[in-house]
Amino acid sequence: MHTWLRTCRTVASPLAVRMVSGLAAVILFAPNVRSQSGPLKVEMPAVDLARKVVTNELKVQNEEQSHWMYRLEKAESGSKQIKKILETKNGSLSQLLSIDGHPLNAKQLLKENQRIQRLVSHPDEQRKLQQASNKKAEQGARLFKILPDVFVFSYASRQGDLVTLNFRPSPTFQPPSLEARVFHGMEGEMTVDTKQERLVALNGHLMDDVKFGGGLLGHLNRGSTFEIGQTEVIPGHWEMTALHVDMKGKALLFKTIGVQVTENHSDFHRVPDDLTLEEAADILGRQTVIADNR
């Protein structure tokens, strides 16, 4: 099961940002509420709406067992890659399709096929893949769970079933770690589907520089940003479809921190829930043959 929750570690790893436990947020309401489709009716405190969405998202992740194949377009460090991702009961299998707009040449294609076959032929590699997948899901769930505690939420706007909430650091939250400090230093917006109680978008930016070890170990620059988008790909099923991270700063010994990652996920197709890595490799191999013959 691929969801935006699994990608939270993608955001967290470069920044060492992983949200952990926290205190309850202070409930405040915005004095100026923008209306896009009539007056915005406040039926509950903004933080309660955020908590309902978080609770429902986690519930869905615990219950959802379906697997999907999709297209991943990823731009990082000036290079763009397109991959086909196929989820299985043993973890996800990826196949590189193109680099910087160019299909793989014969040498690159051979190397990619060898990588895939090596992965599916060694049980220890399969176990590592599954363990990594489980770890990402667990980290993402812990991160998302405390979202309502880290921030103060206020209503911003409404358009049909879509409600946008502003968030800023809660003054009562005491970050228990460096990772929590980074996340707590952000403000931004959270858009939710109130009918289905699902997350649609989450974006934030650092309000100030976040220093490590009083600045001796480095810092992340003010204005560093992240964006996450989620879409209902078929009725009732939501997937993460967009991710953008732009973080800059300095690390120990004046090493520059520069993380610029953009991901777009599209072309979702459901695959059998009991699909194995071996079967996934066969599917990817057949698609490669079809593409080569076009």
pLDDT tens profile 41-91:
667 999 999 999 999 999 998 888 899 999 999 999 889 999 999 998 888
**Distance between CA 224 and CA 205 in Å, rounded?**
5
Q: How confident is the model at residue 271 (pLDDT cuts 50, 70, 90)?
A: very high
The more confidently predicted of residues 90 and 96 is: 96
Identify the band that residue 162 occupies on the pLDDT scale cut at 50, 70 and 90: very high
Residue 38, classified by CB atoms within 10 Å of its CB into exposed (0-12), middle (13-18) or buried (19+), is exposed
Kindly give the interhelix angle for 123-145 and 4-15, rounded to the nearest 10 degrees. Answer: 90
Cβ atoms 88, 277 nearer than 8 A: yes
> How far apart are alpha carbons 97 and 2 in whole angstroms?
20
Backbone phi, psi, residue 160, to 5°: 65, -125
Q: Residue 156 is encoded by which pair of tokens?
A: 């911003």
pLDDT, tens digit, for every residue of 13-49?
Answer: 332 222 222 222 222 222 233 334 445 566 799 999 9
Closest CA to 98 of 294, 293, 291: 291
Distance of CA 36 to the CA centre of its chain: 28
DSSP 177: S
In single-letter form, the type of residue at position 245 comes to V
Question: For position 222, what pLDDT does the model report?
Answer: 85
Cα distances (Å, whole numbers) of residue 106 to 94, 133, 148 = 18, 30, 50
Beta bridge partners of 168: 152
CA dihedral for 108, 95, 72, 261, sign (positive or negative): negative
Q: Judge contact between 20 and 139, C-beta under 8 A.
A: no
pTM score of the predicted model: 0.77
Up-side HSE of residue 240: CA atoms within 13 Å toward CB? 22
Alpha carbon distance 187, 28 (integer Å): 14
Burial of 256 (0-12, 13-18, 19+ CB in 10 A): exposed
Residues 254-265, mean pLDDT to the nearest whole number: 79
CA distance 14 to 58: 24
Q: Do residues 167 and 153 lie in contact, with contact meaning Cβ atoms separated by under 8 Å?
A: yes
Lowest-pLDDT range of 93-97, 117-121, 288-292? 288-292
